[in-house]
Amino acid sequence: MVDDVETWNTMRAANPELKIELKEEKLENAKLKGVNLQKASMPGADFEDANLDEAMMEGADLSKANFQKADMKKVKLHGANLSGASLDRAFMEGADLSNANLSGANLFGAMLQDANLSGANLAGAALFETDLEGANLSGANLSGANLMEPNLKNTIISPETILPSGKNATQSWAIVRGAIFVKP
């Protein structure tokens, strides 16, 4: 698919209306730093161990995709569909996942330090040992999510954040977990 990211990105810039549809594409270990996959339809794609640092994937359909152990520092996934995706041990420091759909996603051991998850849908997601230090979860939906030993130190929580219980976050809930509670 993408042998040369620079050539691919030039093609995307010249043809912004071009629909990218690559269902179940195999991209394990691919070097895709900075690739433009905005609004691409890639459900079930396999990005295991791929380098997607600084990739532009806003609005993409990546449902049920495999990102296990992928490098995804500063990846842009604003509004992307990652429902049912595996982000097991993905390294996503500084990623933009604002308004992304991560419902039912597996984030076991994912490293999301300083990531923007504001307004993200994490309903039913597995957040076992997920590192969310410094991440922004304001307005995120964690309803039914499994929060097992996550690192929430300095994570931003707001009254609009919906907790796994389905209730809105409170200052006491945030403080007990080392998070920062911000009011709008």
Q: Which helix (H) or strand (E) holds 148?
A: strand 146-148
Cα three-residue angle 14-18-24, rounded to 5 degrees: 125
Query: What's the CATH code of the domain at 169?
Result: 2.160.20.80
d(CA 124, CA 133): 20
Give me the domain span that covers residue 84: 1-184
Report the domain count for the chain: 1
How much is the pLDDT for 184?
Answer: 76
Over the chain (184 residues), the average pLDDT of each successive run of 10 is 82 92 94 96 98 98 98 98 98 98 98 98 98 98 96 98 97 96 90
Taken in order 17, 18, 22, 28, the sign of the CA dihedral is negative
**Burial class of residue 17 in the structure, from the number of CB atoms within 10 Å of its CB (0-12 exposed, 13-18 middle, 19+ buried):** exposed
